[in-house]
Structure 1
């Protein structure tokens, strides 16, 4: 799933050129479903070819229906034409079952792309895609395309920096055992403002993120207007209605169509800060889960899925990851994307 309606595609070459830029990396061994609402793009979902089954296709198409899709483009990234056609057949059956028209179906290999719907259309070299207007527009916009999904994930910091962060996390836990929320909001805000950084800060944040009320307060910071005092109330973790409502509303701002809030620049800034927390504390399941949630909010389904998987591999009981992983697996979109016309 990805950011919507950035570039107006005029041809299938434009669409194929846009997909890697929308995902942030060049897909491989993947199926991509791009939903259309009339002439506009909607939900975009990538799934590993090995995971494509009739049941999974029906789940994903169910989200396409809720996204008000009237048509779809299917792309299979594989060297095996037989596999590509089977993937297209599986998704086409599910799409037609929901009265969604398949406008295009393409196979993309390392060297060429071919039309799987219309016989007689010549196979074209993938090098053609780099010369499209869409590809040029993304270059001008500075949209980076990684070689694969792994390259888009937080990368480990040098071991010495990780060691410093680990010691800082342990020291913070010992010093603030009785007041775990102390300094948390200030540290979070200063880090997002670019005023503090470094292994010690990232170690402190990793320890702070182990507490659910702190994670809730950080999310409230991103979903309420500047100057709101709700984060200060939520981080205390009092079991009262106001605290519960504020935390619930922050979640609804991401997930619910009626209450949806589109992420701003502060959302990407928070993702960048969390990436540094993970880089310095790669075994922090809570940091991975929070990073994945905000990545999903931005519309990056593939990155979110990987982030939640990393969190669950580190801690199978991590609550946020357990709740969100199944939804992301099935292609569930954040509320602001679902709400778009």
Structure 2
């Protein structure tokens, strides 16, 4: 499941809701169930999950989604299923029952398929004909308002995942060479050999390589300088060159450096652009830290789906990376970015603490 805390959109009809969902998620869902939570008259939260496999019990997923919605202090919710009736009806009914059981009113229960929407709660043919109501998201005022506000609806979730996929071809070759130079530079700084230790993930530096024994002061100093320089350049609209990205990625394997970068990441568009670029250019064994920093920036800005695909890429390569596990759990639990700000833990960044949010400039 991925969740978001999107910009508030006013929705007055089922057609508006159907048009709004892709912009709330950032992509057009398919084979999915979406719960859109409302507080007062405004949409405040959306959560998406895959449809259960045919024959599977929808109860556990339905109860989980209901609990996520309950954490948003929502008054009511609309459930929207995407797919054929045989796969959608059971899970939509189960989610509706779970929401009702926790005191969240179900405003509507919809099914969307092949350019039409159907309501499970409305039996009036004049407004909800049994053969469905055709809709055009591009013609909706809600969609127009979302586009005006800068929100994007990609064709599908695969298109969103492609935004964090590794860059190949000449870029990959150049980054491989730059990373070799960065490893030698780090070895000279630490006095340790640049050969990756046995057992490290993907044949490179281990994801939490600095936890045993602590980092040399020189590494912390170099890492702080590299992070600050990268943030300054990105906020000036400049792009890091290959050696700068490579140097940053090898330094980020040290937890103190990663946590310094974490503390400077507050969800601005520039943060998302920076860590997306670093993640896509990083060598496969060095993606854990930049992927988590991108996920954190996206989560704080309300782009839960982007955070989810970034974490999926990290966890597929480094399933035990503590910060990725922590952020993934926060997303799955529907923790709102306004409720908790991330802050590095005492030794491995595995603690989320409340802290004062820095104002945007």
Q: Report the TM-score, using the length of structure 2 for normalisation.
A: 0.75
Residue in structure 1 matched with residue 315 of structure 2 by the alignment:
312
d(CA) in 1 for partners of 2:335, 2:281: 30
Q: 2:226 aligns with which of 179, 184, 189?
A: 184
Distance 2:78 2:340 in 1: 18
Report the Cα offset of residue 134 of structure 1. Answer: 1.0
Aligned partners of 2:69, 2:340: CA distance in 1, in Å? 11
Residue 116 (structure 1) aligned to one of 117, 120, 129: 120
One of 77, 98, 101 as aligned partner of 1:97: 101
Counterpart of 1:66 in structure 2 is: 71
Measured against aligned partners, the alpha-carbon deviations of 1:170-213 in whole angstroms (never above 9, x if no partner) come to 32232134232313233322342234423322222222222221
Counterpart of 2:265 in 1: which secondary structure?
Answer: helix
Output one character per residue of 1:4-37: Cα deviation in whole Å (capped at 9) or x when no partner.
4533222221121111112111111111101111
Distance 1:186 1:140, change over 3 A: closer
Counterpart for residue 19 of structure 1: 21
- Structure 2, gaps ≥5 residues long: 191-217, 342-361
Compared CA separation, residues 306 and 139, structure 1 to 2 (3 A): closer
Alignment of 1:29-178 (within 5 A): 29-50=31-52, 53-78=58-83, 80-119=84-123, 120=125, 121-122=128-129, 123-127=132-136, 129-152=137-160, 153-177=163-187, 178=190
1:337 shift after superposition: 8.9
Report the Cα offset of residue 132 of structure 1.
1.7
Which protein is bigger by CA-based radius of gyration?
A: 2
How does the TM-score come out when normalised to structure 1? Answer: 0.79
Structure 1's unaligned 5+ residue stretches are 224-262
| 1:207 paired residue number | 250
Q: Deviations over 1:259-278 (max 9, x none)?
A: xxxx4xxx221111111112
The 3-state SS of whatever aligns with 1:117 is coil
Query: Which structure dedicates a bigger proportion of its chain to helix?
Result: 1
Following TM superposition, by how much is the alpha carbon of 1:334 offset from its aligned partner in structure 2, in angstroms? Answer: 1.9
CA 1:326–1:2 in structure 2 vs 1: closer, same or farther (change >3 Å)? closer
Name the count of aligned residue pairs: 295
- RMSD in angstroms over aligned alpha carbons? 2.4
